[in-house]
């Protein structure tokens, strides 16, 4: 079969103005980025507000292998399948980060015959949203360091700066740096840090903001440092908010592209789910709900990360309620959770699959706690055997969940019609009793412990002295009633990526806690997870190039 990029490059794309008609948008509603990409205008968004909301379907997954297992592929294929059977459906998904594109995982445009296109532009610079977010974040950092040099009127303690510079690239050498070296006018010498752009609070704010006014208000609340009196210093205190908003005024508008089958795909925002809240923008989701009868959205990595944050953070803040959840599993990931090495995942191994299937079972149990109907689907790989698929089907049906095989990677929307039928039945069943995992009134520790024990299956939580002190300070500052955003490895339910399957008899280790006051949640960092990833020994970047015809090769 052809590679993902070959399929994408050979696709016949519609002019984006024709795709926009499917969501009730005219040419005047679009800010065009060439023939196949556009931003949706504020005027269009306001006009759609009076429309009835469509049905919302969340696509999530079990804990993946390092290569990822096709959650976005299923999201896009399900959307094409619904359109094939006569439903008015659209996708609302995240923008890819350059970090994974050039690292291990690859891009985030789907795969095979279930992709969002133009694939190359989406996976690379797209409409410039990530560059705008990076610039706004780093402007704030520059203004902070300038303030330190120019007299430090706010009495900022240079040893208590908490804002990090950012870059949309995996670059471990920038995790810990020293700035201000050189002459006096080169700045105040202090330790500094970088995180990847998708882990910044600016990214989270853009994805949770309702409009430009809400965005501006949230930016002003970003805590950048603490002063010598242990009081927070904000972006508003540094008078940086206006300029940051200007940098983001275009980025806050949702982007519209299309699937391989020319159906509408909203792509906007891109926080990672292992170190941020892992969902596309509230704005894009709400626009899609007004523009289509069915909206298929995704949340990053496993359901222990992306789905939990979608349900407990995004839905809580935005007033959303999913009508169904699709849980993606693969024979490969189940075998990986059963102890099979990555190099051997294409070989049949029903015993290992049955050992690792407890991971799927735990995710099913977790999603049922939110009182939403769950459909389990197998993203079928060509190496999957009938025996492996039958073992998974038997297990899922034993849990009382709906089940369907997805063959969208190989067959596009036609390979997702069985899944679409199950999803429509689940929506008819409805989720009238949807509930959050925890209430706002719980303490921060109680929220962290609820997620750790209920979702991850831990016996409890251990806190570093620094985390304990931070939690006490954050609650004293008045942020005790906000949700928690857990940062941990995506490869395990635990905070140790080596504990696969359904680990028991362990505790979650919280080493650091900080408040994202503008985003409106508290981040708890567990285990060894880093907010600036590194490249692998043999990064994907080594195999990406432009051929003699000017075409990109190797991007996936």
By annotation, the residues acting in catalysis are: 71, 73, 94, 105, 273, 301, 381, 409
Would you tell me how many other CB atoms lie within 10 Å of the CB of residue 183? Answer: 7
Query: Quick check: 492 and 500 in contact, CB under 8 A?
Result: yes
DSSP-derived letter for residue 386 is: H
The set of residues, in sequence order, having a beta carbon less than 8 Å from that of 438 and lying 6+ positions away, is 312, 446, 447, 450, 451, 483
Query: Quick check: 62 and 407 in contact, CB under 8 A?
Result: no
Query: What's the CA gap between 244 and 288, in Å, rounded?
Result: 27
Beta-bridge mates of residue 190: 179
Query: What's the CA gap between 192 and 183, in Å, rounded?
Result: 18
Query: What's the CA gap between 448 and 460, in Å, rounded?
Result: 10
Main-chain phi, psi angles of 254, to 5 degrees: -60, 150
Query: What's the CA gap between 169 and 133, in Å, rounded?
Result: 13
CA 129 centroid distance within chain: 15
Query: What's the CA gap between 86 and 84, in Å, rounded?
Result: 5
Main-chain phi, psi angles of 274, to 5 degrees: -85, -20
Instruction: Record the tokens describing residue 38, joined without a space.
Output: 């556009």
Query: What distances in angstroms separate CA 487 from CA 274, 291, 304, 415, 495, one per listed residue?
Result: 5, 33, 11, 34, 9
Burial track 309-342 (b if 16+ CB lie within 10 A, e otherwise): bbbbbbbbbbebebbbbbbbbbbbbbbbbbebee
The set of residues, in sequence order, having a beta carbon less than 8 Å from that of 538 and lying 6+ positions away, is none
E strand segments, 247-305: 255-259, 264-267, 294-298
CA 535 centroid distance within chain: 19
Query: What distances in angstroms separate CA 122 from CA 119, 128, 268, one per listed residue?
Result: 5, 10, 11
- Smallest CA-to-CA distance from 309 within 496, 484, 80 is with 484
Give the DSSP per-residue string, 319-362.
T---SEEEEEE-HHHHHHHTT--GGGTTS--HHHHHHHHHHHHH
* Torsion angle (degrees, nearest 10) of CA 541, 250, 275, 75: -80
Main-chain phi, psi angles of 133, to 5 degrees: -65, -45
* 540 Rama sector, left if φ>0, alpha if ψ -120 to 50, beta otherwise: alpha
Query: What's the CA gap between 361 and 356, in Å, rounded?
Result: 9
Length of the chain: 556
């Amino acid at each position: 079969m052809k590679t993902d990029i070959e399929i994408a490059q050979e696709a016949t794309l519609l002019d984006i103005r024709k795709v926009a008609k499917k969501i009730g948008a005219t040419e005047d509603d679009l800010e065009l980025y060439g023939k196949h990409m556009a931003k949706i205008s504020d005027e269009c968004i306001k006009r759609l507000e009076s429309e009835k909301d469509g049905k919302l379907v969340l696509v999530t997954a079990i804990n993946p292998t390092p290569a990822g297992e096709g959650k976005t592929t299923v999201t896009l294929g399900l959307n094409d399948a619904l359109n094939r059977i006569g439903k008015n459906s659209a996708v609302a998904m995240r923008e890819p980060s350059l970090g994974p594109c050039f690292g291990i995982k690859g891009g985030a445009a789907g795969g095979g015959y279930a992709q969002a296109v133009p694939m190359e532009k989406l996976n690379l610079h797209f409409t410039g949203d990530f560059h705008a977010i990076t610039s706004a974040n780093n402007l704030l950092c520059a203004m902070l360091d300038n303030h330190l040099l120019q007299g430090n009127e706010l009495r900022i303690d240079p040893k208590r700066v908490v804002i990090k510079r950012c870059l949309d690239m995996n670059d471990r050498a920038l995790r810990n740096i020293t700035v201000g070296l050189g002459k006096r006018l080169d700045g105040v010498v202090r330790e500094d840090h970088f995180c990847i752009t998708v882990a910044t609070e600016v990214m989270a704010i853009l994805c949770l903001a309702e409009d430009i006014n809400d965005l501006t208000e949230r930016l002003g609340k970003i805590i950048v440092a603490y002063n010598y009196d242990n009081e927070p210093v904000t972006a508003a205190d540094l008078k940086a908010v206006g300029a940051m908003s200007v940098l983001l005024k275009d980025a806050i508008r949702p982007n519209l592209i299309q699937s391989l089958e020319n159906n509408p795909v909203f792509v906007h925002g891109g926080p990672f789910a292992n170190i941020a809240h892992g969902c596309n923008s509230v704005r894009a989701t709400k626009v899609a709900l007004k523009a289509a009868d069915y909206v298929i959205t995704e949340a990053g990595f496993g359901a222990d990360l992306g789905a939990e944050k979608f349900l407990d953070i995004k839905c809580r803040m935005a007033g959303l309620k999913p009508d169904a959840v699709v849980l993606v599993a693969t024979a490969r990931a189940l075998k990986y959770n059963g102890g099979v090495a990555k190099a051997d995942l294409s070989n049949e191994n029903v015993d290992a699959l049955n050992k690792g299937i407890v991971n799927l079972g735990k995710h099913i149990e977790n999603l049922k706690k939110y009182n939403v109907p769950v459909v389990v689907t197998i993203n079928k790989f060509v190496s999957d055997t009938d025996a492996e698929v039958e073992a998974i089907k038997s297990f899922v049906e034993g849990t009382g969940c709906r089940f369907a095989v997805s063959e969208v990677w190989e067959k596009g929307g036609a390979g997702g019609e069985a899944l679409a039928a199950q999803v429509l039945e689940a929506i008819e069943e409805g989720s009238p009793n949807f509930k959050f995992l925890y209430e706002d009134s719980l303490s921060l520790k109680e929220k962290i412990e609820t997620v750790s024990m209920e979702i991850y299956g831990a016996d409890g939580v251990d806190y570093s002295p620094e985390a304990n002190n931070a939690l006490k300070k954050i609650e004293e500052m008045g942020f005790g009633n906000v949700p928690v955003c857990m940062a941990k490895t995506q490869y395990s339910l635990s905070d140790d990526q080596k504990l696969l399957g359904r680990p028991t008899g362990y505790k979650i280790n919280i080493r650091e806690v900080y408040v994202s006051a503008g985003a409106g949640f508290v981040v708890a960092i567990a285990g060894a997870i880093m907010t600036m990833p590194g490249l692998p020994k043999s990064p994907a970047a080594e195999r990406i190039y432009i051929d003699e015809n000017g075409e990109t090769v190797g991007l996936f």
